[in-house]
Structure 1
Amino acid sequence: MDTPPPPSRRPPAGAAVLREDKTEAIRAAVLAELAEAGYGRLSIEAVARRAGVGKAAVYRRWPTKPDLVIDTVSAFAALRLPVPDTGSLRGDVRVLLRGLVRALRHPLAAVIVPDLLAEAARNPAMARTLQDTLLAAQREVTRAVVGQAHARGELPSEDADPLALDLLLGPLYWRMTVVHADPTPTELDRLAAIVVTTLHGHALK
């Protein structure tokens, strides 16, 4: 007598599935809690309550608070700025600067990132994440802008001085996060000219 085949396994359902809408609700709750309470006072209970889920839903995705925060920051940083293509390097830099201003107005940059930078001084994993995600996201876009300029013949090389690329974000971060003042359109135009001049100067060496 033949042995009947084992019953086919049904695909996981219910609690076995990590629903994407719940994951995104939890990440949004993490950002809100970080903006209001800061990393030190953030709790899994508060995140779950704000997201409208149970604590188990959070722990199924992230076993610890650092894992939860690091993944959320990484996911947010992955939403990179679009690469502008205006037809000129100066135009691309000007559009990129305006996009960075909008990004720096977001609570993640205005409130959360300074708090996480303070935590990073005590938490090596947090420090590595901020460097690998936030810096890498900015560098990827700026290198793409330089590559386009090279393809158009505006720059003789695709290699750009990292310090020149830091001019895109450094002055804006200082002005908006430390001084708490928005740059004017005229100041953005001046900064775009400085960045382009610096990139040309590096290329001529």
Structure 2
Amino acid sequence: MDTPQRRGRRGPALQTPVTAAIASAAFDELAENGWQGLSMDAVARRAGVGKAALYRRWPSKDAMLMDLIGEAVARNLPDLPDSGDLRRDVRAFLDLTVAQVADPRMPRIGLDLLAEYVRNPAFSEELRRTVAQPRREAAATILNRAVERGELPAGIDISLAVDLMISPLVLRLVISGEPVDEAVLDRMTSMIIAGAAATTAP
């Protein structure tokens, strides 16, 4: 039986196995057909539910996708523990990013979201808020903690340092397809720490 429950910051939804089936179907469709090619009918068929089950939860395809993507980001980007050591925290952040992209659907979805960000100005701000901002906030928290502990100098450019924590790894995972192994992650961790420290004015 569908029992209404609150679903976090994005408002009311129905948290049931039906919703989980819809979410899985929506991500499968998004990976196969992209944002533009996805339809509510196709998601309902793949999930094995009536289309009304989708419209009880979301008023439109775009609302459904933004909600499901936001929930996935929030679920897979928990607050990182403060280990008290910048290197361990940066490496944990990188490991979490790798784990998120381990789902074979994610690179295709990521590229499609990037394209949608460019071609759909109406949703670019929502995509930024839902996908990019939570990850950037988590990275900034790690860096600010390091500044407070004295591991990084005061006055670093947090925004630029956050770019260093996110962009090179995402480029490899989603776009270039170059291997990402333990040695690469270790070197990338060192690069991020050195680069963050170098963002201060001389």
- Shorter-chain TM-score bucket reads 0.7 to 0.9
- 1:60 equivalent in alignment to 2:56: yes
**Counterparts of 1:154 and 1:66, CA distance in 2:** 43
Change in 2 beyond 3 A, CA 1:109/1:150:
same
Q: Contact conserved, 2:164 with 2:196, CA < 8 A, in 1? A: no
Structure 1 counterpart of 2:159: 162
**Counterparts of 2:82 and 2:155, CA distance in 1:** 16
Normalising by the residue count of structure 2, what TM-score does the alignment of the two structures yield? 0.83
CA-CA distance at 1:163 after TM superposition: 1.6
- 1:74 equivalent in alignment to 2:43: no
Q: Contact conserved, 2:66 with 2:130, CA < 8 A, in 1? A: no
**Counterparts of 2:179 and 2:134, CA distance in 1:** 22
Structure 1 counterpart of 2:109: 112
Q: Contact conserved, 2:143 with 2:158, CA < 8 A, in 1? A: no
Structure 1 counterpart of 2:10: none
Structure 2 counterpart of 1:25: 21
**Counterparts of 1:122 and 1:108, CA distance in 2:** 21
Normalising by the residue count of structure 1, what TM-score does the alignment of the two structures yield? 0.82
Identity %: 38
2:195 to 194, 198, 201: 198
The more displaced of 130-139 and 153-162 is 153-162
CA-CA distance at 1:201 after TM superposition: 2.3
Structure 2 counterpart of 1:125: 122
Query: What residue identity is the alignment partner of 1:60?
Result: R
Structure 1 counterpart of 2:46: 50
RMSD: 2.3
**Counterparts of 2:173 and 2:151, CA distance in 1:** 30
Segments of 5+ residues of structure 1 without an aligned counterpart are 1-13
Change in 2 beyond 3 A, CA 1:107/1:127:
farther
CA-CA distance at 1:15 after TM superposition: 7.6
The more displaced of 88-97 and 16-25 is 16-25
- Runs (4+) of structure 1 moved beyond 6 Å? none
Number of corresponding residues: 192
**Counterparts of 1:57 and 1:158, CA distance in 2:** 51
SS in 2 for 1:92: helix
**Counterparts of 1:33 and 1:204, CA distance in 2:** 47
**Counterparts of 2:137 and 2:100, CA distance in 1:** 16
Deviations 1:64-99 (A, max 9, x none): 211111111111122214414333111211221121
Change in 2 beyond 3 A, CA 1:15/1:192:
closer
Structure 2 counterpart of 1:35: 31
Structure 2 counterpart of 1:96: 93
Structure 2 counterpart of 1:148: 145
Change in 2 beyond 3 A, CA 1:198/1:60:
same
